[in-house]
Amino acid sequence: MRYFFDKRHSTPKNHTPETPLGLIEGLSLAHHLSRNEQKLLLRVASVSQTTHPAVVCVDPRFLLAYAEQDDSLADAARELARKLFGDLAKPG
């Protein structure tokens, strides 16, 4: 059991914090995002085609725009935006 706890709460091993994906991974751990939330964040970063994928972690507009594009994940994207940005994630 201890192995799974340590694995979930350890520092990211796949990417260093200096890389865009490593930064997203580190922020995901810091905000205690679920695996599905992490996948959604990476999907939004991929679809957004930004110069730096981690920008989706600091600007709620990316998640909210994605919610408008993908009806199947709209609720999940809005909820993740609220979780990360609180009142800043309100559309309008």
Question: What's the pTM value of the predicted model, to 2 decimals?
Answer: 0.74
pLDDT in the model for residue 14: 55
Residue with tokens 């059991």: 1
Domain extent listing, the chain: 2-89
pLDDT, tens digit only, all 92 positions of the chain: 555 555 555 544 555 666 777 888 888 888 899 999 999 999 999 998 888 888 898 899 999 999 999 889 999 999 999 999 988 777 65
Q: What is the DSSP letter of 49?
A: T
Terminal-residue alpha carbon distance, the chain: 45
